[in-house]
Each structure stands twice: as structure tokens, then as C-alpha cells.
Amino acid sequence: MIYEKKLAILLSTVLCLCCDEGVEEVPIDVLEVTTAGISCGMVLIDFQKNDFERIKKLTRSDWLRYRAHNLDNGKFSTDGQALVVKVRKTFESDLPVCTLMEPTYPIVTVVEAELKD
């Protein structure tokens, strides 16, 4: 009985200590974009040239055009819409499968989006 209590306390302590390790804070940025069509079922978005360094830091890609993972195709698929988006890098587990034979663009994950006033 005493052995089981000590083991339970030890396991609880180890689990608590391990919970915070490996948890990476995911950087998120709010940027203005313009919609530019659809590619592989995702809305294409163009970031502004003056935001190049910010999006590059976030995604580690040298592009201004991205496929927008999690952006509502029905609401934001019209070309030329000005949006304000909250974005983060896309994790490998988020990546959709795309088998189209067309130019590919990097993917950024949209956390929130709204039409720019």
C-alpha cells in the first residue's frame, strides 16, 4: 500500500514536470492581405511587400503569396478582397494533401479573418 502511494506520487511529479517541456509558444501575427484565387482547394492570399520580413520570420518562406489553411473558401474566395488575418506557421500535421499539377505555394494557417473596412 505504501509502495503504491509512493509510486503514484512519483508518477504525478514526473508528469507535472514533463508537461511544460517541449511546449512551444506559437508566434501569431496580424497582417493585411488580398485574396488572389483558389489553389488546391485553399484561398490564395497575397501579403503586402512591407510585411515581407514579418511573414518570412513567421513561416521561414521567401514568398508573399500563400495558400491559406483554415480560411473559409465560401466567404473569402472572391479575388481582390482585402482582409485582416491573424496567422501562424502551419505544422506538418496540418498540411493537406494536394495532388494537382500546378505551381505550389507555401501554406500559412489562418487563425482568424475578417474583411478590412
Domain ranges of the chain: 26-115
Q: Write out pLDDT tens, residues 31-84.
A: 999 999 998 889 999 999 999 999 999 999 999 999 999 999 999 989 999 999
pLDDT score of 22 = 56
The string of pLDDT tens digits covering residues 6-26 is: 555 655 665 555 555 555 678
pLDDT at 7: 54
Residue found by looking up cell 488580398 in the block: 34
SS3 of 82-116 = EEEEEEEECCHHHCCCCCCCCCCCCEEEEEEEEEC
pTM of the predicted model as reported, rounded to 2 decimal places: 0.76
CATH 2.40.50 fits 26-115, yes or no: yes
- The model's confidence at residue 1, banded by pLDDT at 50, 70 and 90, is low
